Structure 1
Amino acid sequence: MSVPALNRAPDAVTTRVTAPGSRRRPDIEGLRAVAALLIAVYHIWFGTVSGGVDVFLLLTGFLITGSLVRAMERDGRVDLAAFWTKLVKRLFPAGAVVLGAVLLMAYAYFPRSQWTTVIDDVWAAALYYGNWHLALGSVDYMAENSAASPVQHFWSLAVQGQFYLLWPLLVCGAALLAVRLGRSARRGAAVAVGTVFAVSFGYSLWITATAPVWAYFDTGARLWELALGGLLALFVHRVDLPGWARTVAGWAGLAALVLCGLVIGDSLPYPGYASLWPTLAALLIILAGAGTAANGRLSANRLLGARPLTWLGGHAYTLFLWHWPVLVLHLELTGLERPTPGGGLLVLGVSFAAALATSWMVDGGVSRATRRLRTPAWSLAAGVLFVVPVLVAGSLWAQSIERDRQLRTELSSNPLAYPGAAVHLDQDLARNLPSLPVYPDTTTVARDTIDQTRACNALIDQTEVVTCEFGDPRSDYTIALVGSSHVRHWFQALETLADQHGWRLVTMTKNACQFSSGEQRYRGEVFTECAQWNDGVMAALDELEPDTVFTLASLTSVRSGPEEHVPEGFVERWRQLDARGIDVVAVRDTPRFSFRVPDCTDRNHRSECSEPASHSMAERAPYLELDDVPANTRFLDMTGYLCQDDVCHGVIGNQLVYYDTNHFSYSFSQSLAAVMEPYLLEAAGRAPEAELTLAEAALSPEEAAEAAREHDGSS
């Protein structure tokens, strides 16, 4: 059997774009060009869904399925080894070139805090599991402040790569079975592809409604788009529309596709029903060009088949690969959230130039040099030769980062060099503290912090209460840590105190969910999972019967949101615990920054990584205005150790305070134990007079501010 040669794009397997019949379809190459341009334009200037990726997925299914079925009808078999290895040879080199460039770009221009993430993302993209890598990251609320990955767009290539592994087995297997049962290969393939379409589409509707962020990257939720293209390939030869219908269908499909991003944007959950818009638009365009008649002079398909668009379609793959990392680099260098009109044109121009250079290097260099090496082994080697250096470079870089992290860990073992919040307990230490590299290392602080409590925390879509116990299980004093991520980030401080004083610590936390009796919302929707979790927490507390619950006293918010306040549901929970004989230590919420603190410390002097307290906090703790606080509740305000003179700092005592914009790093949280100890001992009724003098030894906010000014002046 003669296996069709591969196209330049990841959504085709033929060197010429052809329909399942014999007539050449240059309009499909033009359709690919339009899809690539829409993706780039909407990403660069609007930051929304364009529908272009959906078109690529449909075309992948259309061209691959048609090619496989024709081969089965013609030869009765498909050389799968040749099929897969030629795909590797055609797809891997260009992708590897871009991934290698991203590694260099990240090293040269990105802050250290993003290095580890970039390496992990490049590995996932190179090995075609990038969609699952992003899906897993997307459900982690604690990591949602992460910067956009420069290879995020590789998720769709991962979906297609997984499709390339599955589809030949499915289509060829179904075709062979059909032939043995006395049916045609095309009918067998149609049954299999149709079944996949129905199951995947139903699953897509369900998962998009229940977990839309996960669904966006889920192969199962996208497979129906490829299957729809497959069904079109199997039946398009039966379609022969009259001239007027061709014209209407072609222009309607093209107009709908161009307007997709404007109409849908980010307003509807995706993929789900919304993704029918671009896929059906592409389907109309393909049907408009089907049949034996030539496309009319005024038809959209004739426009799509024009030489400029078909030429651009030949570079659609590399344009798609380059536009996103170039955009991310532009935003990194300019500090903008969205390019200006001129900046966007620059991004598009650089992306196109890089795409042409990559196409020339891969198609004009690699393909030409290996054109006589047609065996599967040589094809595989030609593709892998590009990917291996990228993986090796990423691995060596990761090892270098790990060595630096270990060095900082060794330095941090000296509490006089890295006191964190404890710097406020010693005026001489605050004044004479040497300026050392911040700890934890910004490259790994987010991962290391999240991993410490990942298994002991309920995710956004979970309703069950996840509990973990620390300290002495036989202790006569039990403290429960209950609430959202802004309660969770006090864990290391409480664990340190529990170990020191022989307490029993039990954690009950859930992402984005406050310990409150009131209705809560998440991303604009009623947070029903949070309400169910709260009910479960109350039942768990009834069974646990802790001495004290440690939770939030207020909610801070960035300047654009509501002012720091105490939700009524908080007070109601305190009353309910009072009725159960459980004490409450309610801690004031912590500041929120308008920037990622690790990024700032990598780019600037640490003194510049500060934010006015008024950006997220009220001038006076709002719970002080309450007149109905139950007797069981005590308040804890650590603001004086985080902010001085109405300025909140990102680095304190040489320690990185936050791993993102508003959550403590694990190390700084641990350092807070020293300043919290006397207050918690008092709340627990276990503080003798001698121990209470520790609180008096702590610097006041005014004294801390003076010490900080003297320290900045000396350094």
Structure 2
Amino acid sequence: MTSISSAEATPSGRPLPAAGGAPTRFQPEIQGLRALAVLVVLLYHFWPDRLTGGYVGVDVFFVISGYLITAHLFKEAVKTGGVRLGQFWARRIRRLLPLSLLVLLLTAISAVLILPSTAWQATLRQIIASTLYVQNWILAADAVEYSKADERATAVQHFWTLSVEEQFYVLWPVLLALTLMFLAFRQRRSGAPGLERAQIRAAFLWVVGLLGAFSLLFSIYYTAAAPAQAYFVTPTRIWEFTLGAIAALVLGSRQFSGRGGNLLGWAGFLMIVGAAFFYTDTTPFPGWTALLPTVGTVLVLACGGREPMTGVHWWLSLRPATAIGDWSYAIYLWHWPVVIFSPYISDAARFWYVKVLLILGIIGLSALSTRFFESPIRRAKILLPTWRTMVAAGTGMVLVIVSGIAAVSVMQTSTADSTLTQDHPCYGYRALANPDECGDPFEGELGLWPSPAVVAEQYQEEAFPGCQADEDADGVPECWLGAEETESDGTIAVFGDSHATMWLPALDEIAQEQDKRLLVLTRSGCTPRGGEVDEDSSDCLRANAEIIDQVSADDGIDTVIVAASQMHGGLGGPSRDLGLDEGDSGLDDSARAMYEPIVAWLEADKEVVVFGEVPRMSNDEQEEETLPECVALNESDLSACHERLEDTRVGDRWLTRSAEVFADEENYHFVATEDLVCREDTCYAVLGGAITYSDNSHLARTFVQSTIPELTDRMEPALAGSS
């Protein structure tokens, strides 16, 4: 294996650069490497079940960016002794912003024409975040927010990678400029002559190496501790850029050639491809597992031969590869909106041959937009002054944001239905309860209120912020609703997961009508259950144990409401013998764990109200489409969004079955919920102009409020017993 200058390996006849210098010429294999990166991302997004690890193409781009940008900054530092930040950023803006802003602008307009209204606000929010290059932080925040954890991807979600890169482009030159300033200050203090190349390279390597090491360690830690956030946040990705930076500083224009170097280059290539094929969505990423594709990228950058047929760099330098590399930025920008929009345009988008046609169209569009839009603007002399570039960038960003807001606002106004309100006597459940007065509650002519978009937001925007504890919150956070303490006559406690929180808009009003305080003890993703608590117990179980004891001992709490989802994981058994009848021996550990709070509060002479589990819509197909989205797409035929009752019963439904177990308990009260949205064998998407669900399992806030009179009647025995 020999080390040669990359310039020597070309027929250009250029002289060899100084050892360890920055790359001094165009390296075509880098374009081929970009082509590999964008193709694995492209194929992954069209066939995620086939190329399960195609997301590693993003990491290849990060390493290449670190390599090229650091090489450029090092060359400038050696030549001028500093880094011209304004000029650097202006070049990056002219290269990246024009096409990205065009894609964002067209996506904003297309979204309101193609997507259901339920997707408009989320898309607009992420378009704004993408325009400001903070998309990765928005996605990181959403990834741990319970109401948004399962939110469908928007047409601009892929801009998170560009946000990471732009943040790197802002911070990296500043860091290196500060390093140069420190070196220059130290030189002047010592009276030494100007900075030498070796001094600059050594200083840069120390800074890059330390930053990369800390970032890698943090990435490994944070990927294990908070994988959803770790995937998006910038600190877990910095080390990938520094790998490329170290390669640029150590090798410069030199590459390892010969048989050994070519084998290493092919090994790096196979490391990237292997990760793309064998990694999956369950692979912890981007921690230590990201070393495989990123180190592979460094090997391809540093090693390879150009011999026809056998040289890895020969293959990566072929015109088809370099052409795809030239268009790779545009391909990345255009492909994801096509992936998101195409299923809404035609059901045929799921067929492989249609996907192939779409990919070819994306490549063609990318070639044209690169040739006739991106390149001319990048080279436009009118933008060469730095200040003009900055003004143009700011103007373009404002244009995109304003256009997106205007498009969504106009479309929402045009689709709003102001003829129906929540006070209508046949609104929501009231249409089902009063067929003589309201007629057919399913196919009435009331229209829809609120719109599907507003209903979808109800789940994401809590009716009572802070009343539901996070799954990993410490202790037992309390939230008080209902009547004022000075005017109250007793307390009702609400215990459960988000399906208990779902009922708060109704329970709050009921509590006020009954002059009761409402103590909310709900926790997202936490099944209301008991169990043995030890040092390995979850925060959920620890909090539940505290709640059981706290409510049992509080004489001021006379009524407890328990509600939960049908879906829960396997639960351990209860912490004690519940004394249930032998006839109930068929109950498993999960059932007994869920019945432990009920038994404890019955023993404490509380009125215990158990809400049955609500139907779960669209669960049989495990669709991503939510019920409001289905309604938005099928307003002319709402029956397309109805479900068979038997298909909505998907879990053990132990709360519903508790009605039999505790039938003889005087203080036990069961409140059925299925018949609030279902009749006979059908569960309905819309009743009395009200969309019934805000997703597929949580009832919409406005629909819940329409059930208040009915819930009051069903809870009356418990409320009377607590008076």
Structure 2 length normalisation: TM-score?
0.84
User: 1:397 Cα shift?
Assistant: 2.7
Match of 2:29 in 1: 27
User: 1:410 Cα shift?
Assistant: 7.6
1:467–1:508 contact (8 Å) kept in structure 2: yes
**Separation in structure 2 between the aligned mates of residue 683 and residue 105 of structure 1, nearest angstrom:** 53
CA separation of 1:544 and 1:55: change in aligned 2, threshold 3 A: farther
2:306–2:312 contact (8 Å) kept in structure 1: no
State the number of aligned residues: 654
Note if 1:655 corresponds to 2:668: no
Note if 1:121 corresponds to 2:151: no
1:92–1:384 contact (8 Å) kept in structure 2: no
The residue correspondences of 1:287-298 to structure 2 (distance < 5 A) are 287-289=302-304, 298=310
2:420–2:446 contact (8 Å) kept in structure 1: no
Match of 2:641 in 1: 609
Which digits, 9 at most, give the CA deviation of each residue in 1:455-476, with x for residues without a partner?
Answer: 2222244344332111222422
Of the candidates 594, 614, 630, which is equivalent to residue 590 of structure 1? 614
**Separation in structure 2 between the aligned mates of residue 611 and residue 335 of structure 1, nearest angstrom:** 21
CA separation of 1:350 and 1:443: change in aligned 2, threshold 3 A: same
Match of 2:504 in 1: 491
CA separation of 1:537 and 1:353: change in aligned 2, threshold 3 A: farther
Note if 1:318 corresponds to 2:330: yes
**Separation in structure 2 between the aligned mates of residue 112 and residue 603 of structure 1, nearest angstrom:** 8
Equivalent residue of 1:509, what SS? Answer: strand
Match of 2:62 in 1: 57
Amino acid at match of 1:235: V
Note if 1:82 corresponds to 2:83: no
Note if 1:676 corresponds to 2:711: yes
2:98–2:374 contact (8 Å) kept in structure 1: no
Match of 2:377 in 1: 366
CA separation of 1:187 and 1:148: change in aligned 2, threshold 3 A: same
Equivalent residue of 2:283, what SS? Answer: coil
**Separation in structure 1 between the aligned mates of residue 648 and residue 562 of structure 2, nearest angstrom:** 19
Of the candidates 344, 351, 354, which is equivalent to residue 332 of structure 1? 344
Q: Quick check: 671-680 or 438-447, which moved more?
A: 438-447
Q: Quick check: 249-258 or 581-590, which moved more?
A: 581-590
2:559–2:722 contact (8 Å) kept in structure 1: no
**Separation in structure 1 between the aligned mates of residue 519 and residue 662 of structure 2, nearest angstrom:** 30
Match of 2:594 in 1: 570
Match of 1:226 in 2: 241
The residue correspondences of 1:416-435 to structure 2 (distance < 5 A) are 416=425, 419-431=427-439, 434-435=444-445
Match of 1:211 in 2: 226
Which digits, 9 at most, give the CA deviation of each residue in 1:491-550, with x for residues without a partner?
Answer: 111012112222111112222111112599xxxxx9833223323433553575522221
User: 1:178 Cα shift?
Assistant: 2.8
The residue correspondences of 1:98-177 to structure 2 (distance < 5 A) are 98-177=103-182
User: 1:185 Cα shift?
Assistant: 2.0
Match of 1:581 in 2: 605
Match of 2:207 in 1: 192
Match of 1:703 in 2: none
**Separation in structure 1 between the aligned mates of residue 123 and residue 176 of structure 2, nearest angstrom:** 36
Equivalent residue of 1:21, what SS? Answer: coil
**Separation in structure 1 between the aligned mates of residue 25 and residue 696 of structure 2, nearest angstrom:** 57
Amino acid at match of 1:218: V
CA separation of 1:392 and 1:356: change in aligned 2, threshold 3 A: same
Of the candidates 637, 646, 655, which is equivalent to residue 681 of structure 2? 646
**Separation in structure 2 between the aligned mates of residue 599 and residue 173 of structure 1, nearest angstrom:** 51
**Separation in structure 2 between the aligned mates of residue 591 and residue 97 of structure 1, nearest angstrom:** 44
CA separation of 1:193 and 1:322: change in aligned 2, threshold 3 A: same
State the Cα RMSD in Å: 2.9
2:609–2:669 contact (8 Å) kept in structure 1: yes
Match of 1:415 in 2: 424
Amino acid at match of 1:377: W
**Separation in structure 2 between the aligned mates of residue 256 and residue 519 of structure 1, nearest angstrom:** 47
Equivalent residue of 2:670, what SS? Answer: strand
CA separation of 1:397 and 1:240: change in aligned 2, threshold 3 A: closer
The residue correspondences of 1:504-543 to structure 2 (distance < 5 A) are 504-518=517-531, 528-538=538-548, 540-541=550-551
1:556–1:590 contact (8 Å) kept in structure 2: no
**Separation in structure 1 between the aligned mates of residue 279 and residue 233 of structure 2, nearest angstrom:** 20
1:204–1:222 contact (8 Å) kept in structure 2: yes
**Separation in structure 2 between the aligned mates of residue 280 and residue 630 of structure 1, nearest angstrom:** 66
Structure 1 length normalisation: TM-score?
0.85
**Separation in structure 2 between the aligned mates of residue 536 and residue 63 of structure 1, nearest angstrom:** 57
Match of 1:6 in 2: none
1:477–1:547 contact (8 Å) kept in structure 2: yes
CA separation of 1:554 and 1:309: change in aligned 2, threshold 3 A: closer
User: 1:446 Cα shift?
Assistant: 2.9
User: 1:552 Cα shift?
Assistant: 2.5
CA separation of 1:224 and 1:410: change in aligned 2, threshold 3 A: farther
CA separation of 1:155 and 1:362: change in aligned 2, threshold 3 A: same
**Separation in structure 1 between the aligned mates of residue 216 and residue 132 of structure 2, nearest angstrom:** 26
CA separation of 1:19 and 1:457: change in aligned 2, threshold 3 A: farther
Equivalent residue of 1:505, what SS? Answer: strand
User: 1:414 Cα shift?
Assistant: 3.1
**Separation in structure 2 between the aligned mates of residue 340 and residue 529 of structure 1, nearest angstrom:** 45
Amino acid at match of 2:691: L
**Separation in structure 1 between the aligned mates of residue 286 and residue 257 of structure 2, nearest angstrom:** 33
Note if 1:458 corresponds to 2:458: no
CA separation of 1:429 and 1:116: change in aligned 2, threshold 3 A: farther
**Separation in structure 2 between the aligned mates of residue 117 and residue 255 of structure 1, nearest angstrom:** 38
**Separation in structure 1 between the aligned mates of residue 185 and residue 565 of structure 2, nearest angstrom:** 70
Match of 1:97 in 2: 102
Note if 1:444 corresponds to 2:454: yes
**Separation in structure 2 between the aligned mates of residue 199 and residue 568 of structure 1, nearest angstrom:** 48
1:611–1:648 contact (8 Å) kept in structure 2: yes
Amino acid at match of 1:209: A
**Separation in structure 2 between the aligned mates of residue 129 and residue 470 of structure 1, nearest angstrom:** 36
User: 1:376 Cα shift?
Assistant: 0.5
1:172–1:189 contact (8 Å) kept in structure 2: no
Which digits, 9 at most, give the CA deviation of each residue in 1:16-74, with x for residues without a partner?
Answer: xx982325421111101110011001111125431100011111111111211221111
**Separation in structure 2 between the aligned mates of residue 479 and residue 687 of structure 1, nearest angstrom:** 9
Amino acid at match of 2:287: G
**Separation in structure 1 between the aligned mates of residue 391 and residue 521 of structure 2, nearest angstrom:** 52
User: 1:572 Cα shift?
Assistant: 1.5
Amino acid at match of 1:200: S
2:527–2:564 contact (8 Å) kept in structure 1: no
Match of 1:502 in 2: 515
Question: Any unmatched runs of 5+ in structure 2?
Answer: 1-19, 188-194, 570-586, 619-624
Amino acid at match of 1:246: G
**Separation in structure 2 between the aligned mates of residue 324 and residue 100 of structure 1, nearest angstrom:** 14
Q: Quick check: 419-428 or 271-280, which moved more?
A: 419-428
Note if 1:599 corresponds to 2:629: yes
**Separation in structure 2 between the aligned mates of residue 136 and residue 445 of structure 1, nearest angstrom:** 22
Match of 1:305 in 2: 317
**Separation in structure 2 between the aligned mates of residue 93 and residue 265 of structure 1, nearest angstrom:** 34
The residue correspondences of 1:691-702 to structure 2 (distance < 5 A) are none
Equivalent residue of 1:684, what SS? Answer: helix
**Separation in structure 2 between the aligned mates of residue 280 and residue 231 of structure 1, nearest angstrom:** 12
CA separation of 1:200 and 1:641: change in aligned 2, threshold 3 A: same
Which digits, 9 at most, give the CA deviation of each residue in 1:80-102, with x for residues without a partner?
Answer: 11211222222111111111221
Of the candidates 28, 38, 41, which is equivalent to residue 36 of structure 1? 38
CA separation of 1:327 and 1:493: change in aligned 2, threshold 3 A: same
